């Protein structure tokens, strides 16, 4: 099997799974309980806060554990909007965000908030000048993803942070679900106030994730209950999930330090091999995130290619996994003004550190054979 759909989800790491099982068995106490089992769980929870805070170079109190990217993005966006609505009701994001960002903004519009959706250029990158022009006195939130999930383009997070750093009541949220562990992002140096990370995108487990919340930033909680996590996220903490997330984060950051060059080499190899096929048009610009390449085969339905590859044991995707069953046309590719025949024929390859050059060769050979067969069938 060749798995090239790592932006949808990744295979859980064996060490992460072992950690989850071990903690589930030994630390099943409720961290809020006063007896020893509860105290043991609480102690392990505190260690996880400390461990992850060191990995992110932030304070333990700046971490909120969530169930993943969707919850983290919803908590950041709705939490800021509801907490600071007395300061203003204007929000800014881009037109190519993940649905877990775009849909909370649309929900807030129904509550009376006004949202500016910034366009992107033909590379899928937002203009900092456009952002400056969109800012208003009543703008309370700017949310821009770090790495686009379909194209792999990298947004100018640090430059945006520089623009926003002196605006006391305009908060900066970054959806870092696709970027973490693949493309470096210094949260403090980029003046990021909130950042979302998901466990299952980094060989952790589904249902795990976190939101970085800079000290001094308030959030209106999505969940009210027992007041866990300093009243920011009520609900009994999933100790095993949290500890496994810490393990997954440490392992992926080690990979980023030691193997990101290999990932870039894999990206370059795939580009070179795809360029050998005259029917293929690569949509992802050069020098973007190392793990995502989007390309089109105009004249061919991507679902047919996808399933033909699957019959050969190769797994890819047509667009974002959260949108792949809804529409034939990618809204991200429409936003960068690709012609219809490219928008309707796109495939996405997303690597992990486990993929190899040999897998790229086998994939390209299979793709060439499938295109040849389909052309013969069309005659």
Q: ∠ CA 119-338-128 to the nearest 5 degrees?
A: 25
Burial call 139-150: b when 16+ CB within 10 Å, e when fewer: bbbbbbbbbbbb
Contact 351, 290 (CB under 8 A): yes
- The residues, ordered by sequence, that sit 6+ positions from 374 with a Cβ below 8 Å of its Cβ are 300, 304, 305, 308
* Cα dihedral 153, 213, 255, 357 in deg (nearest 10): -20
Distance CA 58, CA 52 (A): 8
Cα–Cα dist 73/201, whole Å: 15
Say if residues 317 and 8 touch (Cβ distance below 8 Å).
yes
Identify the sign of the CA torsion 311, 347, 175, 81.
Answer: negative
Instruction: Give CA separation, 148 vs 173, 199, 292, in Å.
Output: 15, 17, 9
Strands (DSSP E) found in 278-359: 281-282, 292-296, 314-315, 346-350
- Written as six digits, the tokens of 224 are 């009210």
What are residue 346's DSSP bridge partners? 296
For the question of residue 247 being annotated catalytic, the response is no
The pair phi, psi for residue 291, each rounded to 5°, is -105, 0
In the numeric block, which tokens belong to residue 137?
């006195």
Active-site residue identified among 107, 277, 304, 322: 322
Distance CA 39, CA 37 (A): 5
How buried is residue 348: exposed, middle or buried, by Cβ count under 10 Å (0-12/13-18/19+)?
Answer: buried
- Residue 94: its H or E element: strand 90-94
Report the C-alpha gap between 122 and 340 in whole angstroms.
14
Length of the chain equals 379
Active site residues: 322
């Amino acid at each position: 099997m060749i798995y090239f759909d790592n932006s949808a989800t990744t295979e859980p790491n064996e060490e992460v799974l072992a950690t989850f099982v071990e903690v589930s068995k030994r630390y099943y106490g409720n961290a809020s309980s006063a007896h020893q089992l509860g105290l043991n769980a609480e102690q392990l929870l505190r260690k996880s806060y400390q461990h992850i805070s060191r990995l992110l170079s932030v304070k333990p109190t700046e971490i909120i554990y969530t169930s993943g990217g969707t919850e983290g993005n919803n908590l950041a966006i709705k939490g800021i909007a509801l907490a600071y609505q007395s300061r203003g009701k204007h929000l800014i994001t881009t037109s190519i965000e993940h649905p877990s960002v775009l849909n909370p903004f649309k929900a807030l519009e129904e509550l009376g908030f006004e949202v500016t959706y910034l366009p992107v250029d033909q590379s899928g990158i937002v203009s900092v000048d456009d952002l400056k022009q969109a800012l208003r006195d009543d703008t309370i939130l700017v949310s821009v993803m770090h790495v686009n999930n379909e194209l792999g383009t990298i947004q100018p997070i640090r430059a945006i942070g520089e623009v926003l750093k002196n605006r006391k009541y305009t908060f900066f949220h970054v959806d870092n679900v696709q970027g973490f562990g693949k493309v470096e992002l210094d949260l403090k140096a980029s003046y990021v106030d909130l950042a979302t990370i998901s466990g299952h995108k980094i060989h952790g487990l589904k249902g795990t994730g976190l939101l970085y919340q800079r000290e001094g930033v308030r959030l209106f909680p999505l969940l009210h209950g027992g007041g866990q996590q300093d009243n920011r996220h009520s609900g009994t903490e999933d100790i095993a999930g949290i500890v496994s997330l810490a393990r997954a984060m440490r392992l992926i950051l080690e990979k980023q330090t030691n193997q990101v060059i290999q990932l870039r080499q894999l990206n370059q190899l795939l580009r070179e091999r795809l360029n050998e096929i005259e029917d293929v048009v690569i949509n992802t610009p050069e020098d973007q995130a190392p793990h995502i390449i989007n390309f089109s085969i105009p004249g061919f339905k991507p679902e047919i290619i996808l399933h033909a590859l699957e019959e050969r044991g190769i797994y890819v995707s047509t667009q974002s996994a959260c949108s792949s069953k809804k529409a034939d046309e990618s809204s991200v590719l429409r936003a960068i003004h690709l012609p219809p025949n490219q928008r309707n024929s796109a495939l996405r390859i997303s690597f992990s550190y486990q993929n190899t050059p040999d897998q790229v060769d086998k994939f390209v050979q299979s793709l060439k054979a499938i295109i040849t067969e389909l052309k013969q069938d069309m005659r």
